[in-house]
Amino acid sequence: MTFGEQPAYLRVAGDLRKKIVDGSLPPHTRLPSQARIREEYGVSDTVALEARKVLMAEGLVEGRSGSGTYVRERPVPRRISRSGFRPPSGATPFRQEQANGETRGTWESSSEQAEASGAVAERLGIRPGERVMCTRYLFREAGEAMMLSTSWEPLAVTGRTPVMLPEEGPLGGMGVVERMAAIDVVVDNVTEEVGARPGLAEELLALGGVPGHVVLVIQRTYYASGRPVETADVVIPADRYRVAYHLPVK
């Protein structure tokens, strides 16, 4: 096989990827061995190994101890709908993150006071080291882990109020908008920035992914009259979900 200017291992990986995508190598099929790849494509052991590493990093194949490398089942991506903040209407944290009213889910959470890191402080417009309430969420749909969220709220805003703990008190379990309204803080704007990166080990463990999987990261910040009152990192497995935005036309 003649290879162009592209590195040989990428050409091999590309051809194997095409076979996986078009079904020539269906899920649970054993990937050709390193020796078979070397023979079929006329490449070295190093090239064959690197090509297999590319497919593993892309999450297309997985190694099974003592058995070989197999094509992974490719999940059909489901949709996570987002539409910015909702007005006070009994919104829950799950509804805050998933705007599709037909979707039902549960969540687990834990809160603790912490010092704002430099990055979090910048997003909240406070000084590094100032006290914040940090809340970590794990969201599930039909029992399956679908999303992680870590939020930070300045205690200068919520401290010593009934909503200081997002999941406790009279408004525990409600969304940010309704909780803030209870202390006369009117949320009037929200921003979201979407990016992607390899998932951290602890994130993939919680979400059921494998090393090398990519996650979508949504950096969300709520504002009241220009002042940030909550910021969060929402982490979603990119191979299982797509994020759909519903934005009103003004």
pLDDT in tens, 3-30: 446 899 999 999 999 999 999 999 999 9
Convert the pLDDT of each residue in 104-144 to its tens digit: 678 899 999 999 999 999 999 999 999 999 999 999 988 88
CA 238 to mean position of chain CA atoms? 7
Contact 93, 105 (CB under 8 A): no
Does the domain spanning 8-71 belong to CATH 1.10.10.10?
yes
CA distance 159 to 121: 16
Provide the 8-state DSSP code for 69.
Answer: E
> pTM of the entire structure?
0.76
For helices 8-21 and 45-57, give the axis angle rounded to 10 degrees: 50
- pLDDT of 91 reads 62
- Give the length of the chain: 250
pLDDT at site 246: 76
pLDDT of residue 169: 87
Q: Which two tokens stand for residue 159?
A: 């401290």
Return residue ranges of the chain for CATH 1.10.10.10. Answer: 8-71
CATH assignment of 78-245? 3.40.1410.10
10-residue mean pLDDT profile of the chain (250 residues): values are: 70 94 93 92 94 87 85 83 62 65 78 97 98 96 91 97 92 88 95 93 88 88 97 93 79
The encoded tokens of residue 64 equal 């099974």
pLDDT of residue 59: 79
Question: In this structure, are residues 51 and 45 in contact, taking their beta carbons and an 8 Å threshold?
Answer: no
pLDDT of residue 73: 84
Residue 95 is predicted with a pLDDT of 60
pLDDT at residue 154, as a whole number? 98
* Contact of 141 with 104, CB cutoff 8 Å: yes
The confidence score (pLDDT) of residue 16 equals 95
Structure tokens at 145: 């882990």
In the chain, which segments carry CATH 3.40.1410.10? 78-245
Return d(Cα 128, Cα 146) in angstroms, integer: 31
